[in-house]
Copies of this chain bind each other. A is one copy, B any other.
Amino acid sequence: MKTSPVSNGSGASPSNGSAGEVQDRFKHLYSRGSLVDQPTAIRDICALVARPEIRSLAGGWPDPDVFPIEETAALFAELMAKNGAQVLQYGPTEGLPELRLALAERMAEEGMSGVGPNNIFLTHGSAQGMQLAVQLLVDQGDVIMVGLPTYFGGTGAIMAGGGHPVGVPVDRDGMNTDALAEELERLTSNGERVKGIYVVPNFQNPMGTTLSPERRKRLVELARQYDLIVIEDDPYHDLIFEGEHLPPLKAIDQEDRVIHLRSISKTYAPGLRLGWTVAEPGIIGRMALAKQYMDATTNSPAQFLFLEYLRRGYLDRRIALNIEHYRAKRDFMLDCLERYFPKGVSWSHPRGGFFIFVTLGPDQDAAQLLARAVENKVAFVLGRAFYVDQGGANTFRLSYSQASQEDMEAALKTLGELLS
């Protein structure tokens, strides 16, 4: 999987309507890394979502209905009038000092004791934090432990960086830490260079499950025992529908082994492309050095907007609104599933986030279902896109984040009929 050459041009994205095969005319000059065969799940989703006649439960983009459009327009006008020269100028590679300070305070309130501005690093979306973390840790063939299933953006970044993601089962309590311990023992005994663990602890994409308190402790303990870095990817953190927040791995860890990744995409606006990393200052320094030659610094308007958003309490108000909005959508989808899906099919009951994961009978094939669903103008994402071991043939992911109630109900009714 890791280094097999791509047989033909990856070409332009299907999402922009430029069809047709594009030849890799200069393939003989490309680096080995750029020829790594990548899963194209994101592009496949984009292609499905882009077809207007499709009722899509595939894409996991936030719902523009909750974007704070007027608020952001007013805030930007104010910022430009007061401080336009700085808003349009380059800033420091690590991010605006005031924003690093504000985020450090917020992270400390979430239980990450001792976190200061030097532990905070602003990135162009949390995806960039992930990419920089991989670049920091991974030499060709180094192992990063991942969930089966887990977010393909995470495993994609690992593979793009030359790393080897090794899977550990995820169940309703998140990544199985007993299985993780066994696998770590086996790999290190075999002399493999294991560098880290990639985990989405809250309302995981795609399963919607949350890592239990016991497993959080165990995972951090295993990182210590096997001398590993933990990449804690937590974009859905604030979108919690019920109960209390569990402590972040970053708050449990006493050895600064956790790189904690956050995003404004699900609580404010994804188009601003802003995320932040919380980590030990030496790690932040290295990531910043790499970012300097990557894109110099993160766009300034997004940072100034988010700083004001935090200072004025808009973020917390917005989080409360978004929780209400997405909780209602989750409830509606769960109701539809109860109503339309036949016996023998099961699904997760997420306490937050955007996704519900469906498991068919052991002999059923989700790919066959998808083919028939698309004929009937309904789309979802195959579970196997999230399994680095090519498993999950009888699973698929549904997203309630974007679809209207009408589309959701019609789509799930169709799927239910196809399954019966």
Interface residues on A, range: 35 or more
Q: Let me know if A285 is at the binding interface, CB within 8 A.
A: yes
Whether A272 touches B294, Cβ cut-off 8 Å, given contacts A80-B72, A136-B30, is no
| Pair A88/B69 contact, Cβ less than 8 Å | yes
* A window 301-354: CB within 8 A of B: 301-302
Whether A10 touches B286, Cβ cut-off 8 Å, given contacts A273-B298, A302-B299, is yes
Point out the residues of chain B lying under 8 angstroms from A62, CB to CB.
89
Whether A89 touches B73, Cβ cut-off 8 Å, given contacts A16-B94, A22-B281, A282-B23, is no
Q: Closest CB of chain B to A45's CB: distance in Å?
A: 12
Q: Let me know if A270 is at the binding interface, CB within 8 A.
A: yes
Closest to A96 in B: B16
| Pair A127/B80 contact, Cβ less than 8 Å | no
Q: Let me know if A192 is at the binding interface, CB within 8 A.
A: no
Point out the residues of chain B lying under 8 angstroms from A114, CB to CB.
none
Whether A156 touches B11, Cβ cut-off 8 Å, given contacts A16-B94, A76-B73, A299-B124, is no
Give the contacting residue for A296; candidates B100, B137, B273; CB below 8 A: B273
Copies in the complex: 2
Q: Let me know if A97 is at the binding interface, CB within 8 A.
A: yes
Point out the residues of chain B lying under 8 angstroms from A270, CB to CB.
88-90
| Pair A73/B64 contact, Cβ less than 8 Å | no
> A97 vs B227: C-alpha distance in the bound complex, in angstroms?
46
Q: Let me know if A102 is at the binding interface, CB within 8 A.
A: no
| Pair B281/A11 contact, Cβ less than 8 Å | yes
> A94 vs B88: C-alpha distance in the bound complex, in angstroms?
23
Give the contacting residue for A124; candidates B10, B11, B124; CB below 8 A: B124
> A12 vs B100: C-alpha distance in the bound complex, in angstroms?
12
> A297 vs B295: C-alpha distance in the bound complex, in angstroms?
13
Point out the residues of chain B lying under 8 angstroms from A88, CB to CB.
64, 67, 69, 72, 269-272
Binds B, one of A32-40, A171-179, A214-222, A365-373: A32-40
Point out the residues of chain B lying under 8 angstroms from A10, CB to CB.
285-286, 289
Point out the residues of chain B lying under 8 angstroms from A25, CB to CB.
256, 280, 282
Q: Let me know if A142 is at the binding interface, CB within 8 A.
A: yes
| Pair B299/A139 contact, Cβ less than 8 Å | no
Whether A273 touches B297, Cβ cut-off 8 Å, given contacts A12-B94, A117-B18, A229-B29, is yes
Closest to A270 in B: B90
| Pair A13/B94 contact, Cβ less than 8 Å | yes
Give the contacting residue for A282; candidates B9, B67, B228, B286; CB below 8 A: B9
Point out the residues of chain B lying under 8 angstroms from A85, CB to CB.
64-65, 67, 69
Give the contacting residue for A16; candidates B12, B92, B136, B290; CB below 8 A: B92
Whether A156 touches B72, Cβ cut-off 8 Å, given contacts A29-B137, A301-B272, is no
Q: Closest CB of chain B to A164's CB: distance in Å?
A: 13
Closest to A287 in B: B34
Point out the residues of chain B lying under 8 angstroms from A265, CB to CB.
90
Further contacts, 16 of them, CB under 8 A, given A88-B272, A124-B295 = A10-B285, A12-B94, A12-B284, A13-B92, A26-B283, A31-B136, A31-B142, A34-B286, A61-B90, A64-B85, A65-B85, A67-B84, A76-B80, A88-B271, A89-B271, A125-B296
A interface residues, Cβ below 8 angstroms from B: 9-13, 15-18, 22-34, 38, 42-43, 46, 61-62, 64-65, 67, 69-70, 72-73, 76-77, 80-81, 84-94, 97, 100, 117-118, 123-125, 127-128, 131, 135-139, 142, 153, 156-157, 160, 195-196, 227-229, 256-257, 265, 269-273, 280-286, 288-290, 292-302
The 3 closest A-B pairs by CB, nearest first: A69-B84, A271-B300, A64-B85
